[in-house]
Amino acid sequence: MVLHNPHEDYFPCAHCTLGQCLTYFNGHRRFDRNSLSSAVPGNLNNLTSVQELLLSNNRLTGPLPNLAGMNALNYLDLSNNSFVATDFPSWIPTLQSLTTLILERTQVQGMVPVSLFSIFSLQSVVLKNNQLNGTLDIGSSHSNQLQLIDLQTNFIDDFKQSTGGYSVEVILVGNPVCQETGAAGQSYCTIPQSNTSSYLTPPNNCVPAVCNSNQTSSPNCKCSYPYTGTLAFRAPSFSGLGNSTYFEILASSMMISFKSYQLPVDSVSLSDPRKDSSDYLELNLAVFPSEGASFNRTGINSVGFVLSNQTYKPSNLFGPFYFIGDQYTYFAAEVQVPTTSKKSSNIGVIVGAAAGGFVLLSLLALVGVYAFRQKKRAEKATEQSNPFVNWDPNKSSGDIPQLKGARWFSIEELKKYTNNFLEANEIGSGGYGKVYRGTLPTGNLVAIKRAQQGSMQGGVEFKNEIELLSRVHHKNLVSLVGFCFEQGEQLLVYEFLPNGTLKESLSGKSGIRLDWARRLRVAIGAARGLAYLHELANPPIIHRDIKSTNILLDDHLNAKVADFGLSKLMGEGERGHVTTQVKGTMGYLDPEYYMTQQLTEKSDVYSFGILMLELLTARRPIERGRYIVREVRVLMNKDKDLYNLQGILDPAIGLGTSLKGLESFVELAMRCVEESGADRPTMGEVVKEIESIMVFAGLNPKAESATTSASYEDESKGYATHPYSNEDFLEYSGGFPPSRIEPQ
């Protein structure tokens, strides 16, 4: 199956097979209106994260593909292909996320099952020009969101209406049921108007202003000259245009984006949603100025940049988009300098001489400014290549951080401590580089993280981690022993933690069994470390990359927070939030931070909530296309034991034993992952609640954890054995990768 002439608007995959193109994409797939031929590959069913799939208007053959495994699918269009005749697929009613089903001219036959219309999210069903027959029954419990059922030109001979009537638009033109006597007056036997809507963003609790012929009343009822254009969405997840909620969500998200970039926008208005010939959703957009009656050129350029350069990201309801702006001719008037009358020719000469002198001085000033800027750029370039160029480790004044015990190692010293970075001393690796076990002259073990060439972490992040770790000292934070930055090498020297990462223990790699009590102690340790960063460090610090690979376990399984390469200081004037480039790990990333680019302590709280769910399930946040937050929400039932979560709890947690406090732990985790940061607790509050859960479970929240071997006691012999075999102990006792980058 080869794609001969793809539309570049749909995907950048020319002259490739459908299977290759499907592998390339994630989330949205438009392959309609191409020259795809032969049968649909069977592995299509493995793409469980796909939300929109459009394969219409091709030359596909064979049977209709079985897509039962595509649980996230909400928009499916297989129309106008050459599939063999088949009964209505029984797997379609199992797609519980489906909003739009389009199977026009696919030779599907038989009766349409009533179960199809009970899909909660279903909005539109288009099955025109097929061989469907029998009675159309949409049932009395169909989805409240259902708007359209189009079965034109089939063999439907009866339509069973619910006793309470129906609000769904049903089209049965061209079916035997519309050829019966008296059927001509039925609404379902007429062709409706075109697929458009008269929607217009309503006023915000005010009376629209009466404006002159060139101005428009905004949603805030102010007369002004808006910047207008057309928004086109390539793959919206809905098909009906009658639900105004979608457009209200879109307008609200646009205003959040404009405000986050501090643009002079008062409000936005959306109108006339419609579908074009490619089934794109188009809307008219009007953006109203907040200052005066019109935008200046800078304001127009800023708004246009956010829209045209994809800086604004709409929700998954709408998918990818483009914007075509109209010409704007109502720019705010420039400030005019008033002219004065000519007094005399002498005054003219004086003014001319003064102007000439001013121009000369201005030119000299510009030359000076240019030279100064060039010097600063050169210094900045040098600092970026070597962020320590002005850092004297022997001084601690001004902006120079005080190392408080951390020392500067030479590369020769670290080579000696690791036996020239011998492979046998390698104890971990990741996207950043490798980690080696080293022995100091004092006999103390250390973990030495060595960046590889082309590492994802640059000099600025490297210096950032050193500065932050030098500021903070807490028993639940990994301690920095020292660092090295010379001969093109970046190395960090940490305290050695023998039991590796939390992820290794949850996955079973480390050989340590984490029962319910130990997981509570891990949670309280990590929470205390984060609470210290947020509430006691001065200035406060936001970690930005809380995840199970960045929680390390010492020899008593006490948790310590590691890897501060992405952390951010909350400086003066930044209380509340920091507007910054989005960084973090997918699956743990706060969606509010992702949408607004405004970082707060609550972003760490969200990541910690994901970590709590990981402690419960031992699952990655995103696994086989399923998001752990959604999985828990779907299953959670407070009226059942363990909130009905037995099916996803990690068996190693101690299922079958008393799991006191688990329900409260789940509730706390779900509060931490609320969509709005304002609804999440602070880390200080999280610490107090976990302490209360531990007390309820009969644990002392102030006590240290037991040793690694405490729960591996051989009851028959009455003594403790180590959890590892000798061979395993040599391999994992130093499993410490502080900066492993794990794609989720």
Q: What is the pLDDT of residues 169-191, one digit of tens each?
A: 899 999 999 988 777 778 888 88
Q: Which of 32, 545, 554, 604 is catalytic?
A: 545
Q: Is the pLDDT of residue 627 over 60?
A: yes
Q: Is 545 a catalytic residue?
A: yes
Q: What is the pLDDT of residue 559?
A: 94
Residues 6+ apart with CB under 8 A from 523: 559, 611, 612, 615, 665, 690
Nearest to 617 by CA among 598, 630, 602, 600: 630
What does the pLDDT read at residue 6? 35
* Token reading at 717: 């012999």
pLDDT digits over 508-538, tens only? 888 888 999 999 999 999 999 999 999 998 8
- At residue 729 the predicted structure's pLDDT band, cuts being 50, 70 and 90, is very low
Task: Kindly state the average pLDDT of the residues 653-666.
Answer: 90
pLDDT value of residue 571: 64
DSSP classification of residue 282: E
Give the lowest-confidence range in 3-17, 609-623, 697-711: 3-17
DSSP state letters, 186-213: SGGGS----SB---BPPPSSSPPP---T
- Residue bearing the bigger pLDDT, 5 or 567: 567
567 phi-psi bin (left φ>0, alpha ψ -120 to 50, beta other)? beta
Third-level CATH fold of 407-495: Phosphorylase Kinase; domain 1 (3.30.200)
Between 59-63, 198-202, 503-507, the lowest mean confidence (pLDDT) is in 198-202
Mean pLDDT of 212-237: 87
Q: Bigger pLDDT: 611 or 56?
A: 611
**Per-residue confidence (pLDDT) for residue 380, from 0 to 100:** 59
In this prediction, residue 141 carries a pLDDT of: 65
Q: What is the mean pLDDT of the chain?
A: 79
Q: How far apart are CA 570 and CA 573, in angstroms?
A: 8
Q: pLDDT band for 142, please (50, 70, 90 cuts).
A: low
Write the single-letter amino acid at 717. K
- pLDDT for 370 beyond 90: no
Instruction: Quote the pLDDT of residue 154.
Output: 94
Task: Say what the pLDDT of residue 697 is.
Answer: 92
Residue indicated by tokens 């760490």 = 604
Q: What is residue 477's predicted lDDT score, i.e. its pLDDT?
A: 92
- For residue 248, pLDDT over 90 is answered with no
**Mean pLDDT, range 251-268, rounded to an integer:** 88
Question: In the block, which residue shows the tokens 């130990």?
Answer: 518
d(CA 323, CA 555): 57
What is the pLDDT at residue 172? Answer: 92
User: In 3-state terms, what secondary structure has residue 271?
Assistant: strand
Q: Is 395 exposed, middle or buried (0-12, 13-18, 19+ CB in 10 A)?
A: exposed
Q: What is the pLDDT of residue 707?
A: 47
More confidently predicted of 399 and 403: 403
Instruction: Summarize the confidence of residues 447-460 as an average pLDDT.
Output: 69
What per-residue string of b and e applies to 439-463 under the rule 16 or more CB within 10 Å gives b?
ebeeeebbbbbbbeeebebebebbb
**What number does CATH give the domain 502-732?**
1.10.510.10
- Per-residue pLDDT reduced to its tens digit, 479-505: 888 888 877 788 889 888 888 899 989
Query: CATH assignment of 18-189?
Result: 3.80.10.10
Q: How confident is the model at residue 128 (pLDDT cuts 50, 70, 90)?
A: very high
Asked if 18-189 and 216-325 have one fold, the answer is no
What's the count of helices (H) and strands (E) in the chain, helices before strands?
A: 14, 35
Give the pLDDT score at 269. Answer: 93
Note the pLDDT tens digit of each residue in 673-684: 999 999 999 999
- Write the class of the CATH domain 216-325: alpha beta
8 Å CB contact between 737 and 448: no
pLDDT value of residue 234: 76
Say yes or no to pLDDT of 384 above 60: no
Residues 116, 68, 15: CA angle, nearest 5 degrees: 115
- Domain spans of the chain, in order of start: 18-189, 216-325, 407-495, 502-732
Proportion of the chain above pLDDT 70, given as a percent: 77
The pLDDT value recorded for residue 533 is: 93
Do residues 129 and 102 lie in contact, with contact meaning Cβ atoms separated by under 8 Å?
A: no
Mean pLDDT of 556-571: 85
Give strand pairing partners of 275.
281
Query: What percentage of residues in the chain have a pLDDT greater than 90?
Result: 30
